[in-house]
Every structure is written in structure tokens, then in C-alpha cells.
Structure 1
Amino acid sequence: MKIAYISTYSPRQCGIATFSTDLLAAIAHQDHEKQIEQHVFALSETPGNTRYPEEVKHEIGQHNLADYLAALQIINGGGYALCVLQHEYGIYGGNSGVYILSILKKLQIPLVVNLHTVLDNPSTDEKNILQDIARVADKLIVTSSLGVKLLQEVYDIALPKIAVIPHGVPDFPYTQAEAKDILALSDRKLLLTFGFLSRNKGIETVLRALPDVVRQVPDLLYIIAGKTHPNVLKHDGEEYREYLEQLVEQLDLGKHVQFDNSFMEETHLTTYLSACDIYITPYLNEAQISSGTLSFAIGAGTCVVSTPYWHAKELLAAGKGVLFEKENAQQLQQILLDLLLHESHLLEIRTAVSAFKSTLSWKKIALTYKELFTQVTQDFDGENHPYSARLKDVNPVLDLSHVKRLTNSVGIVQHATYATPNYHHGYCLDDNARALLLLLMVKEDEPTRDVDALVSTYISYIYYAQRPDGLFKNFMGFDNRFLEDIGSEDAFGRGIWAIGYLVRSHTNSSYRQIGKEVFVRAIPHFKTFRSLRAVGYIVLGLVHYLEHEPQNQELLNELRQLVSFMRSEYESNSNERWPWFEKVVSYDNAILPLALLRAYSVLHDEHLKTIAVDAGEFLDAVLFRASHLSLIGNDGWYGEHSDIAAFGQQPIEVYSTMLMYEEMYRTTNNQRYLERIYSSFQWFQGENDLQLRLYDAETGGCCDGLEAFGVNRNQGAESTITFWLSSVHMNRAFKNYTELLSALSNSSKLTVA
């Protein structure tokens, strides 16, 4: 069996690196027939600066998404039978370690995940990431029964997917007397705390408890072993250690406290643990389901005194230790005196621990892992794996609750802070036009759905935003005053697109009549615009209007002039390797080939079709440069002689892209474009560069974009309306999904992730 491990790894000074190093060594030790080959894909903050052992086959730069994708290719193509992930939010890149999903969701082999942290009150990102990991994992491993409970109750993960395997511990070769001799401390009573130093360790509580203790136990020595946590050192330096040293001086404990500011190698650590009389974990954070330091102390057979964080409460039950309240120095003082002055009490605890400690040895734990790995690989069914199987039901049920939440009697508010309307930014024509388009489509598809009040509100905003000369204002403050005299060309164009659709829609005649008035008043300005996207939006509005009045020669002439402008821009900027309308591919790009294809359906100009299909194919190659939709980011766009910006990616791009592919399918009858419609929509559902969902089923809203750090969790009008427009479009494009499923069944390329 060939296994790929994704983790930090020694010599990196990190608890998870130590865990992984110990796990691989223990499994190798139990592999008597040499049937297991273990490779590590090591997470590094600065790749290339660490000399790893030979089992490390690839380094992943923590903050470099491309490294994750490179690792994915190696794992999928490397003949591995299993992938094992050590998961801790902080060791992976992006918000809450989101980058790791770019590997996990595309794995083609079974996956086992050690969860080193399970939070009881996670953030939205933390919860979504763990749930996404659970969807693709074949087995999740936690070290405690509380971890099982949290996974079920907080994350809705089914019990059969979860396994409990305790944290392994090394061998302890010395007796207590031998270890004290090695340390030259045979004449001292030893207390010990070890691990990376940081303020949540609570060591100051122990120091405050010691003055009265050392008066009665004058040979007492408290060893604080471990260097400052690297992240703490980076931001705060040695501030916490210096604070502890000052406290030792203030309490006159200089002869009774010793600092060992080093990373604990195993030999050094096992000697300390074997020698100590009492091991103390005074941690302040209750939400800790796994503690390697605590497991090591139990494995050494020592008496543990601890605050009641989750792992301690479970591991120290049945007399295997003593608990005290966090920051309660007086209670800790009484416990220490009782144990140190009454050795029979100390011996009772050590006896209880000794009867249990052998169950934690890496030798036994490694056998458990080997059995689990064998079972997972035998049970793996690649065809029916959650993210390799094709989905039949890809579209959520229409939920307008967030659209309604953002809408008042004036119109739809532009922005939201998370899912709460943000009134500071007021309203805009663009969003009310999009909202009108959405609600008209909803009314057509579901005539019994009561959306008339919303339709009326959005029409009213557009009507009020139009000036007497036919131009439009755009932005309005929440005090209902417009913030500029004339809005942008793009806002004008989006307004015309929506009004054109209103005129051809099957809504009531009074709405269509006001739409005609608004449209006709705007016509004189059509030919004056020079924003290609504004022209594209107007073309879409004109084509819709012409569906209502196909013989309107004035509008046909307007359409020809606009199309002529777009064609001239294409011919001026395109070349054999750059068949595009501009020297930069920027925002809402699919609108341009889409507009020409829609115009072709009216004008039947074959040259338009050729330009549109060529430009569409060029854009397709850019957008699907990966195996999923990878939008062009607004942080730099994509110039003819520059790289493609990876982030931020905006939901607005998805809807126009879906419309473009639908029109290309109608024009060419190429079934691949049907697949592209489906794959484009899946961008919202996590089939994107970060493998993160943007649609929020809890609110009915859609997050505002995909950034390098993760998802922008605000759910504004543009993103939410765009999502539901895309959803409605999916339903229209694939009635009962019969066409879609036919396309998928004939394709070996499309998989869902």
C-alpha cells in the first residue's frame, strides 16, 4: 500500500509535525513485511528552507495555492492507494485553512482525516470547511468521545464516518529514579509543564499557587519546558516568557522554577516526563479535544493535575488525575499540597494511570491505524464517491427570502453586512434592474407565486431614476436622494436590458406600457455610448423588445448600428492569438459574445456568428483553464501580454457566462456547451478555485465573491440576484434535467466537486 500524508512534518517545530512523524515511524515499525510505502506532502511556511527526511516527497507552501494544485496532481497520478490528512485550521492557507479543499475535493483515492481541532462554536468558514472535508472523507478520526459528539451535533456528520483513536505516545525507557538521576535532580520533587509557550497556557496560575507550596515542600522544583510558539514569537516576541520570569522574581521563586527554552526532542521529553512527580496542564481554553502533551504525560504514568478542558475531563476520569478550575491558584495550591504531603494519594493516581497507559503506546495505536487504512481502501468505491459521482439534482429550490430582506418600499438595497442589509450604501439602478429581470422570470415560470409587489417596486425605481431626457441616474442614498446627475453607461445598459425584457414578458399590460415609455425615451442615447458592455446590455434589451415588435424598423436600425460598433472594436483589437474585443479581458466578459449571438438570431449575419463563436471559444479556454470554472479576478484582470488575475472572482460573471454557453449551444448545437452551463453553475456550489460554496442555504443569499483568503461572506444584492438568475436559468436550460443528464452521460470529462 502506498500512502500519501498531507501534514506539517519534522524537523518543523510543530505539534502536528511531531504527531505525523511519530505515526509514520510507528506504522513503519509494525510493517514487518515491508508492504507499506509512506510519502509526506509537507506544509511549509517558507518552502525550500527546511532539510526534510527522504519520505518527504513534496513541499506545499502554506500560502501558495499553486503548490496545493501541484500536490494534487502528484497524488492523483502517483499510484497512491490512500491519502491521510492531518487537519488543523492554522497550518493551511486562506481563511481558516480553506486552501486544503483544493486538494481534497479533487482526490481520486480514499481519504482519512485526523481532526486535531473540533470547535463547538465555529465560524461560518470553519464550519463549512469541516463539513466539506467530511463530505469527501471516507473516515474522520478524533481522539475523544466528545469529538464524536461535536461532529454529530454541531456539524451534522453521521456516526459511521467517525472513528476514535487515542493520541499515541512514545516508549518511556527510564524509571522515575533513573530519569531523575539523568537530570541530576534526585533530591527534588518535580512539577512539569511542557509545550509551546503562549498566553492561553495559564502558567501564571501555577506560579501564583507555588509560594505557600514551597514553604511546606522546600525541595520542590517546577520545570517549564518548551520554546515560545512560533506564531507568538513572530508577533509578540518573548513577551509572555518575560512576563513569567518577572512573576517568578516577584514571588521569590527563583530557586524553585526552571525554564527550559528549547523545542522538546523525544528523548529529552520522555526523560522529563518519567522524572516528574506531577504534570500540570493549567490551560485556559476549554475547547480542546486533543492534547498531545496530556497524552504523553499519561503514557509516562505520571500524576496529572489539570484544568477541565475537554480532553482532560475525558482522559483523567476514573481517578487518573485531578482537575482544578482555570485561574484558581488557591485551589491548585491545596491540590498540590495534598498530593506532595500525602504520597499515598499520589501513588493511587499513578497506579490508576499505569493500568491505562499501555493502551496509548504507538505500537498499539499503529496497529489500529493499519487496520483502519486497510478497511477504508477495501471499502472504497470510486464510482459512487460523493464528489466523483455526478449529481442529478444540482439546483436548490427558489428562495427569495434574502431578496425580500434587502428590499423595501424604495427598491433593493445594494449591500449587506453578512446577511443583514447595509443601509449606508443605499440603492442603485444596476441592482434594481437585475432584480426586475429576476422577478419577471420567476413570474413567468411560476405564475401563482406572488411577486407582483416586488416587480412593481423595481419598475418604480427604474422609472424614478430616468431623467426627462431619457438618461438615467444610478446611485441613491438611503435618504432617497440621488447621488449623481447622470449614472454610468453600464447602469444605463442594464436598465435597458431589464426594461426590454419587461416589454416582451407576460406580465400585466400596465407594467409593459410604462416599460415602453422608459425604453422609447432612452433610444436617442443608444448610439452615443462607447462602453462595450453597456452596448452589449442594450443589444440584449433591444432583442427582447424586438421579440415583442419584430418588425420595428427603428429598433432594427439601432441594433445594426450597435452591432457594427462592437464588430469594429473586435476587428481593431483582435488578432490570431487574441480574438477579443479589447486588449484586456476584464469584467462581465461573456456579455460581449452573448450580445452578438443574440443579435445574430435577429439579423442572421453570418459574420456576427463567426466573431461571436471565436470570441466565445477564446473566453471558454480562459475560464476553463482548470477542470472547473475559474473566473478572471478583478485584481488585475487579464491583458493580452499579462497573466490572468486569480482573485477576486465575482458572481456576476457566472450568470452571463451561463447565458453565453446556452446561446452558443443553440447556435452550434455543440453538446459541450450544455456541460459548460452546468459546470458554470457549480461555481456557486463549490466547484471553483478554492472549492468553497458561495450559496448560503440558511439565508437564501449568495456571498459576494471569491478572494485569495477565501469567501467574502457579505451577501449583497448583486451576488444574491445573480445566483438566483443563474438558478432560474438552470431550470430553464434543463427541464427536469433530461438534457443535462444526457449530456453528462455522454461525457467522460465532467465530474462534480
Structure 2
Amino acid sequence: MQIALLAPLPPEQNGIADYAGHLRHALEALGVRVRTPLQGVGNDPEAARQRVAEADWQGIDLVHAEIGGGRLAEFHALRALRQRFAQLPLTATVHDPERLVWRREKLPWPLSMLATLRSPLPEVATVLADPLCLHEERQLARQMTRLVTLTHAGNRCLQQRMGLRQAQMAVIPHGNLPIAPLPLPPLQPLKLLYFGFIYRGKGIEDLLEALARLVTEQPGLRSRVRLTLAGGSEPEMAFGPSGSYLEQLRQRIRERGLSDLIGWHLDVPADEIPSVIQAHHVMVLPYRESSKLKILGQLRGTSGALSWATACGRGVITSDARSFGEEVSYGNGEIYPQGQVHALTQALARLCAEPQRAQAWADRAATLGRERVWSLTAERFHQLFQHACEVNE
């Protein structure tokens, strides 16, 4: 089988590029030939359409795309392919259900004029144009052979919002690298880890506030708990109109009197990620859903950081944002209501009072990780591709 993979790929630094890179290598290990016709176009819809027009599609059995993360290139490449090849099997992993892309490439006139004005007028223009965006998403979704989500919750939301047939849907959980198991460190001090790209909207402020409240309410815990903030800090994510986000976090840490409890491990090389995660007991992901996106729909994706925790055999405390509730329903952690700092503080307090919970969560995570290694995940995709080709014969 020869497929075309439409996706960002390493060295691009984002979760979907990492995912696509691992999937590609795992499929090639099964003997699938993988071509990447969009490589080098970046997130440029016009360049993607041009590449579709110029590329040689002879011998391609199926096209698979990775859609999400605010990217539009893959979406428009799929639209161009469907217009050109009515019978070519098209499949995609949708990373941010219940929508495909959530925004248009360009706003129609006269709304496009608002995009150049001061906030909130550009946001108003986006909302007013959303019915057109949703129509285009539904149009493509209904022409796809198969759409894959990483969770059942995301699958249900995507099917309902796009108006899809059950036969078009599939769930394949996020793949994991095969990480050698490593026992938990000694349970004192309790080592907590935030891991992921460090930028606004991840709820990191909630975690800092919860930790401050924890040691204020129970001063005896100050010597028994530590937190590491680890992950990517790309300038385009860590800097914005209000300045350096990293420096804002450091200032907040100083103001809360947490400097002695918090360490940093920024821009972790890929080969060091497992050792960083396994040096801790529990990962904490305090994500908040975007209030802006709530106007447009429900974001029911999952997290590459959650996948890393599973692969490394570590439990998680996470908010109920996205589809995290489903991902931590296997006895591998605890969920709290997003944005509720008091609830997060209580979850941390329970873990400190019963640190053996970390071991139980780790055991369940390790089992789940073995079930989701990329080699098995690629086999599920390979089977899905074969069925998709049979449907379009």
C-alpha cells in the first residue's frame, strides 16, 4: 500500500507534527509506503492547493491527513483533492473535534474589513462568518471516507456537529512510544510535573495558585512537595503583546513565595522527555478551554502530554477540559473542574495525604501505555486504510 500523508512533520515543533512523525515511521515499519507531498509548504493554504495541482498522484492508494492545531493547509489540500479525484479514498485524524478547522482562510467582504480594526471587531467578524466556515467544514467532512478521533467523546461530538454517518467514524487512541518502565522515585518529596508547551491558556496560573494555597493551608507540606515546569517555550508562543509569558510566570512564582518549590526544565530534547517525566510521580495538566472557542463549539481533543504520561507509566491530575475526563477514566489519575483552583488544591492535598495513590495511578497508566504503543496503533490505522480502500472500489 502507498499512501500520501498530509501533515506538519518534525522539525516543526508542535504536537501534531510529533504525532504525524511517529505515525509515519510506524506505518513504514509495517511496509506501508508513505509520501509527504505537502512537506515544505508550511501552513499556507494556497501553496497546499498548488502542490495538489502539481504533485504526481499516480499509484497513491489513499490520502490521510492530520487536521487540527489551527492549521488550514491540510484542510484545503483535502478539498482540492476531492474536487479533482471523486473516488480517491480520503481519511483524516481530527485532533480538535467537534470541528475540523474552526476558522476560514479568509473572511468574506465586508467582514474582512473588520479584521483590520481593533478588538473586539475582528472577533465579531469571525463569529459572523462562522456559519459559512461550518458549512465548508461539513461539506468536506461528508465527502471523507473515514474520520478518526482520539477519543469516543470527540467522536460523538464530531459526528453530531458535522452530520456524519456512523460508517464514516473511527476511534484510535493517541499512540505512545514504547518507553521502558521505571519505578516511581521515593514518595517524599512528592514530585509534580507540568509538561507541555508553555504559553497562555494552559491554566499554569491555576496550578501555581493551587500550590500556593496548599502550602499556606498546610505549612508542613512545604518540605514534602515540589513542582517542575517543563516543556517547549518557542518565542511565538511564549511572547505576546503583553510581553514574555515566562517572565510573567516567574514573577507570579516570586509573588506567591514559591521559588523554593518550583524548578524549570525548558525545551526538553525529545530523547530526554521520558527521563524527565519518570523522575516525577504525577503529571498535572490544569488546562482551561478557550472562552472564545466556546462561542463556536465544543473543543473535545486530547493532549500529547497526556499521551507521554501514559507512555512513561505516570498518573495525572487534570482538569475536565477537552476529552481529558475520558482519558483519565482508567484509574490512571484524577479529574477536577477546570478553572476551579479550590478543587485543584483539594486534589493536590489528597495526593499529599495519600501518596500511594501515585503508585496505583502509575500501574494503570503503564498498562494503558502498553496497549497504545505506536506499533499497535499503526496496525489499527493500516486496517482502517484497507477498509477505506475497499469502500471506494
Distance 1:21 1:209 in 2: 36
Matching residue of 1:257: 262
Matching residue of 1:28: 28
How far 1:159 sits from its partner (Å)?
Answer: 0.7
1:593-651 CA-partner distances (Å, limit 9, x unpaired): xxxxxxxxxxxxxxxxxxxxxxxxxxxxxxxxxxxxxxxxxxxxxxxxxxxxxxxxxxx
Please, which of 268, 272, 283 is the counterpart of residue 279 of structure 1? 283
How high is the TM-score relative to the length of structure 2? 0.81
Distance 1:22 1:188 in 2: 34
Number of residue equivalences:
352
Distance 2:82 2:40 in 1: 16
Deviates more, 1:58-67 or 1:284-293: 58-67
Distance 2:60 2:314 in 1: 40
- Taking a change above 3 Å as real, the CA distance of residues 174 and 344 of structure 1, as seen in their structure-2 partners, is closer
- Taking a change above 3 Å as real, the CA distance of residues 365 and 97 of structure 1, as seen in their structure-2 partners, is closer
Matched-pair contact (CA < 8 Å) for 2:320–2:338: yes
Matched-pair contact (CA < 8 Å) for 2:227–2:263: yes
How far 1:305 sits from its partner (Å)?
Answer: 0.5
**Residue type matched to 1:200 in 2?**
G
1:185-231 CA-partner distances (Å, limit 9, x unpaired): 99743211111122210001111111354531514221111223564
How far 1:350 sits from its partner (Å)?
Answer: 2.7
Matching residue of 2:66: 86
Matching residue of 1:309: 321
**Residue type matched to 1:280 in 2?**
V
Matching residue of 1:71: 52
Distance 2:241 2:266 in 1: 16
- Taking a change above 3 Å as real, the CA distance of residues 132 and 327 of structure 1, as seen in their structure-2 partners, is same
Matched-pair contact (CA < 8 Å) for 2:309–2:365: no
How far 1:318 sits from its partner (Å)?
Answer: 4.5
Distance 2:20 2:335 in 1: 29
SS at match of 2:197: coil
Matching residue of 1:119: 98
Distance 1:238 1:272 in 2: 28
**Residue type matched to 1:86 in 2?**
E
How far 1:357 sits from its partner (Å)?
Answer: 2.7
Matched-pair contact (CA < 8 Å) for 1:174–1:271: no
Structure 2 residue runs without a partner (length 5+): 103-129, 290-297
Please, which of 71, 81, 105 is the counterpart of residue 83 of structure 2? 105
Structure 1 residue runs without a partner (length 5+): 43-57, 382-753
Distance 2:228 2:60 in 1: 44
- Taking a change above 3 Å as real, the CA distance of residues 280 and 201 of structure 1, as seen in their structure-2 partners, is same
Matched-pair contact (CA < 8 Å) for 1:5–1:38: yes
Distance 2:7 2:59 in 1: 19
- Taking a change above 3 Å as real, the CA distance of residues 14 and 146 of structure 1, as seen in their structure-2 partners, is same
Distance 1:187 1:318 in 2: 25
**Residue type matched to 2:208 in 1?**
L
- Taking a change above 3 Å as real, the CA distance of residues 8 and 137 of structure 1, as seen in their structure-2 partners, is same
- Taking a change above 3 Å as real, the CA distance of residues 41 and 219 of structure 1, as seen in their structure-2 partners, is farther
**Residue type matched to 2:97 in 1?**
V
Please report the RMSD computed on the Cα atoms of aligned residues, expressed in angstroms: 2.7
Larger Rg over CA atoms? 1
Please, which of 237, 244, 248 is the counterpart of residue 249 of structure 2? 244
How far 1:141 sits from its partner (Å)?
Answer: 0.4
How far 1:309 sits from its partner (Å)?
Answer: 1.4
Distance 1:349 1:63 in 2: 42
Q: Does 1:138 pair with 2:145?
A: yes
Q: Does 1:62 pair with 2:67?
A: no
Q: What are the residue-to-residue correspondences of 1:516-535 with 2, within 5 Å?
A: none
Matched-pair contact (CA < 8 Å) for 2:191–2:225: yes
1:320-351 CA-partner distances (Å, limit 9, x unpaired): 32111223222222211221231233333333
How far 1:71 sits from its partner (Å)?
Answer: 3.0
Distance 1:368 1:377 in 2: 14
Matched-pair contact (CA < 8 Å) for 1:202–1:327: yes
- Percent identity, aligned pairs only, is 21
Matching residue of 1:359: 371
**Residue type matched to 2:2 in 1?**
K
- Taking a change above 3 Å as real, the CA distance of residues 70 and 329 of structure 1, as seen in their structure-2 partners, is closer
**Residue type matched to 2:275 in 1?**
T
Distance 2:283 2:56 in 1: 41
**Residue type matched to 1:241 in 2?**
L
Matching residue of 2:162: 155
Q: Does 1:338 pair with 2:350?
A: yes
SS at match of 1:163: strand
How far 1:235 sits from its partner (Å)?
Answer: 4.2
Q: What are the residue-to-residue correspondences of 1:438-453 with 2, within 5 Å?
A: none
- Taking a change above 3 Å as real, the CA distance of residues 238 and 221 of structure 1, as seen in their structure-2 partners, is farther
Distance 1:82 1:237 in 2: 45
Matched-pair contact (CA < 8 Å) for 1:228–1:238: no
1:52-97 CA-partner distances (Å, limit 9, x unpaired): xxxxxx4224336144222344142x4211111111162225xx96
Deviates more, 1:155-164 or 1:168-177: 168-177
Distance 2:12 2:182 in 1: 30
Distance 1:13 1:89 in 2: 12
Distance 2:76 2:207 in 1: 37
**Residue type matched to 2:7 in 1?**
S
- Taking a change above 3 Å as real, the CA distance of residues 289 and 198 of structure 1, as seen in their structure-2 partners, is same
